[in-house]
Amino acid sequence: MKSTRPRLERAITVGVELRRRRGPWRLKDSLAELGELARSARAIVVGTVSQRMDRPTQVYLGKGKLEELKGLIYAKRASTVICDDELTPTQQRNLENALGESVKVIDRTALILDVFAQRARTKEGRLQVELAQHEYLLPRLAGQWTHLERLGGGIGTRGPGETQIETDRRLVRTRIQKLKRDLEDVRRHRAQYRARRIEMEVPVVSLVGYTNAGKSSLLNRLTKANVMAENLLFSTLDPVTRRIHTPAGRDVLLTDTVGFIQKLPTAVVAAFRATLEEVQESSLVLHVVDVTHPNAAQMVDVVDNILAELGVSEKPRLMALNKVDLMEEDVDEESLGRVLQLAEGEQGKVFTSAETGVGLEELVREIDAALDSQEEFGELPELLDGTYGSRRR
């Protein structure tokens, strides 16, 4: 019997830290997250190479580290190198030439887009991912098509890379324009639904947060939405909206949005504009945080920065400090302290567990209180199923 199950790609993660541009994330933590992204893309990380340097090079790594990488590729029989930053077309081409034809080189952006391509289920989601992929590939067309043709599948090649290897720049630009028009139709469609909700005075609460913070699990627990929730980065991608009925007698729509991540490509933010506009039009933003993660404070900063880019920094916010069922065995006290400090600026904060249900009743009461501070809302039209604290009709 021969297994038809696809073999996991053996990947080596590579990261560079510039001494003069140190960010809030340590290189070690960023590479650990890159490894989790690779696992989400069905790869196995067999090695890691990191380097601190004064300035970037045209091959991403210095000469010594490049030789170390070559040796590790040979020793571990790796087929893929994943870089922690977005490579310029020149860096990618030079690194591919240095490592040889048998090794595929992708960067963090290509990896994120590949995970998105796997997760997208709806037509809107597939359009958004394809647009982001095309805009990423356009400046890399010179050598990318032969690169994909040679390797034939795997991480970084799903989506448009598989089907448009022989497409030239003109056709790709034409496709991008077509995708933008289609997404503009989606945007208008969403705007019509939002206008109807505003007319009916239905409050909308948008769930935002770092990927894998537990947003989908929280939505499932509150509304019985049955959305896929796994311990993987970007386990869900397509937005889901469901209804809850609060103890105050108010109907509220909960909308789950795409998770955020550090170094989120601008092409992704632009492609998902129609989805993220749900946050702009919401009555309340529910920021879900994994309080047990050692980088929870940095994750809060990432979400805050992206919300600022979307122009919703001033919108009322409530913070759900999630996964408290794991706090006794897995919590970073320093990070938790900073998260609590950051939460002081929010409308309120609640410790919750989507796994056990702890704190969810208090969370719904806090949502009610936050909405009470705004104008009164009317009844929700009969559009969606799923309730918290179901009522007889």
What pLDDT, on a 0 to 100 scale, did the predictor assign at position 151? 43
* Residue of higher predicted confidence among 85 and 121: 85
For the residues 105-129, what does the mean pLDDT come to?
86
Helix, strand, coil % over all residues of the chain, rounded to 5: 45, 15, 35
Dihedral sign (CA 356, 362, 364, 367):
negative
For the residues 316-330, what does the mean pLDDT come to?
82
- Per-residue confidence band for 166, with pLDDT thresholds at 50, 70 and 90: low
What pLDDT, on a 0 to 100 scale, did the predictor assign at position 332? 64
Measured at the CA of 46, the angle between CA 40 and CA 49, to 5 degrees, comes to 100
Rounded Cα distance, 377 and 375, in Å: 6
Q: Which of 79-83, 111-115, 309-313 has the lowest mean pLDDT?
A: 309-313
What pLDDT, on a 0 to 100 scale, did the predictor assign at position 115? 87
Which amino acid, 180? K
Contact between residue 59 and residue 137 where contact means Cβ atoms under 8 Å apart: no
For the residues 269-286, what does the mean pLDDT come to?
78
Q: The pTM is what?
A: 0.79
What pLDDT, on a 0 to 100 scale, did the predictor assign at position 382? 39
* Residue of higher predicted confidence among 159 and 28: 28
What pLDDT, on a 0 to 100 scale, did the predictor assign at position 1? 57
Express each pLDDT in 46-97 by its tens digit: 999 999 998 889 999 999 999 999 999 999 999 999 999 999 989 999 999 9
